[in-house]
Chains A and B, each alone.
Chain A
Amino acid sequence: MEVSPTRRLWMALTYVLLAVTAILMLVPFAYLVCSAFKTNDDVFRSTFLPAGEGLLGADWSRLTLDNFRRLFTEMDFGRHMLNSVFLASVTSILATLASAMGGYALAKFSFAGRAFFTNFVLAALVIPAAVLIAPTYQLLYWMGLLDSYAGLILPGIAPAFGVYLFRQAMINSVPNEVLDAARIDGAGELRIFFGMVIPLVRPMLGAFLLITFLGTWNNFISPQVVLQSSEKFPLSVAISQLKGVYSQDYALQMAGTLVSIAPVLCLFLLLQKEFISGLTSGAVKG
């Protein structure tokens, strides 16, 4: 097929624009990785790698692991990382389970109050988080849950957003006939839910699990408000404290940032297809 020169020119221009944007997106990451392996003096002296005689015109011998050594020996970052892993896993697993259960009830059962609870969920979607911060803090104080992980995990167990997403997913992808057939065969409700319903919404489940994991991992304001003892801090709070104390030690800060975002970036690379389709499914179809 003949391709006209103007068309080819447009295509070339498209690729140039796409590539320049891609470079702009990647440069801060490259800067982050380079700075994490430099001494703090070199962070101020060179933009990416320190200049020298080696490969790519860089002085590779000036790179150091010292920032990471300090993070894990002096600043207890191993502990903070475990805290983040624990909080994000527990919250995301519980939230996914509770959301799937709630969505299933609203999508596949007819019962008195179904319309009421569905409207409940929709109303809860539009409540802005900002109005809940102060009263939730007061409530956690009364319940004796300040400075505890329970105080962070419990409020996030059944997000309305999740219940709504699973309701939408299950209305179409879980056929009523299959459920009825299983009931006639005498299967228990829990077995139906875990054995048949959950496998049918697996893509949604994976996406939601990842979304809540990332959301919890990256959350700052809740742990900042609820937690007081520094050994309980997740990475997000620990690193903001680090920035306050070592405000001019950018090499150390970049190493801490790299350590904090690398795990979630890897997780996402493994699961990105499910993630993006889950993210946009509600918006585009609905």
Chain B
Amino acid sequence: MNTIVGRSRWTPLLFLAPFIVTFLLFTAYPLVQSVNLSMHQTYGPKTSTFVGSGNFTQLFSDPLFWKALSNTFLFALGSVFLQLPLSLGLALLLDRPGVRGRLLFRLIYFSPSLAGIVFVALLFGPIFEKNTGLLNVWLNSWIGFDLEFPWMERHVMTGLIVAGMWMYVGFNMVYFLAALQNVDRSIEEAALVDGAGPWQRFRHVTVPAIRPVAGFVVLLSIIGSFQLFELPFVLLNNTAGPDNRGLTVVMYLYQTGFEVGDLGYASAIGWSLAILLMILAVGLRLVLQRYED
């Protein structure tokens, strides 16, 4: 009996051990240390000076930080307000009763998100070229768009929203589609019998049913958008582009931490981003709760 009692006491902890050990070492400790680091100025990983809240006051008056923040914000706005409605639209089309080839369409829409973001950046390099790039050539032949339109030279963030849309529209659609397929058909049919039109059915049956998933997808794309880094960094050949037009918050963190070597200032940037994301997440929850009743 003794052995069984002893075993059942330690067994769960042994199963949990890999998580506990790596969590403490590579998440909990760095988390605490990043608070400490954010109050230091460092030169590489070795030497540092205590500056208190100096990093944060400097950050608030740092034009590059504000530039990075506004660029990132623009990308997030594009993701949430252009990309997600398209994802939902595609999911609604695919969910129409009687549509054939649903699995094939879903597979095609989803496939760009499998290509890693670095590789997508490589792929869009020639696509965004002036004169010879696929995008300008096509837009020119359809709507007479300017062949010389300088995507990566002047309109980096707009280009990134386009590339991001290609990459993630299907990814987000998969979530919407899964939610739509969980909608109780009998409620929909009851609404139909009661004489509800398409818009009323959408507004009063579909929307309430997919709201939790929609909230999750919005949160996921806000968090994802605010961590934008590789796409502009690689597209612009490991720089922030002309006049820092492609600078994002995480790219600025990378530059200060690993090109300049100030891990302290980089941590302060990291924390600013984390706090901003927490505020946005709480805000989103409050907005969704208001619609709940």
Contact = CB atoms under 8 A, between A and B. Distances in A.
A244 interface: yes
B59 interface: no
Interface string B17-39: 01111110111011101100100
Contacts of B22: 98, 154-155, 157-158
A283 interface: yes
A193 B15 contact: yes
Given A128-B227, A218-B118, A133 B174 contact: no
Contacts of B29: 135, 139
B123 A133 contact: no
A225 B30 CA distance: 16
B79 interface: no
Nearest to B104: A22
B23 A120 contact: yes
Given A18-B93, A106-B16, A130-B273, A25 B27 contact: no
A280 B123 contact: no
Interface residues of B, number: 91
B267 A135 contact: yes
Contacts of B37: 134-135, 138
A126 to B, nearest CB: 8
Contacts of A18: 90, 93-94, 99, 105
B34 A218 contact: no
A14 B96 contact: yes
Nearest to A101: B15
B263 interface: yes
Interface in A97-126: 97-99, 101-102, 104-106, 109, 111, 114, 117, 120-121, 124, 126
A28 B166 contact: yes
Interface in B100-145: 105-112, 114-119, 121-127, 132, 134, 137
Question: Is the interface on chain A under 10, 10 to 19, 20 to 34, or 35 or more residues?
Answer: 35 or more
A131 interface: yes
Contacts of B9: 111
B64 interface: no
A55 to B, nearest CB: 22
A72 interface: no
Interface string A256-286: 1100110011001100100010011001100
Contacts of A256: 122
B200 interface: no
Nearest to A267: B114
B135 to A, nearest CB: 10
B108 A25 contact: yes
Interface of A: 11, 14-15, 17-18, 21-22, 24-29, 31-32, 35, 43-45, 47, 97-99, 101-102, 104-106, 109, 111, 114, 117, 120-121, 124, 126-139, 141-142, 154-155, 157-158, 160, 163, 183, 189, 193, 214, 217-221, 225, 236, 239-240, 243-244, 247, 250, 253-254, 256-257, 260-261, 264-265, 268-269, 272, 276, 279-280, 283-284
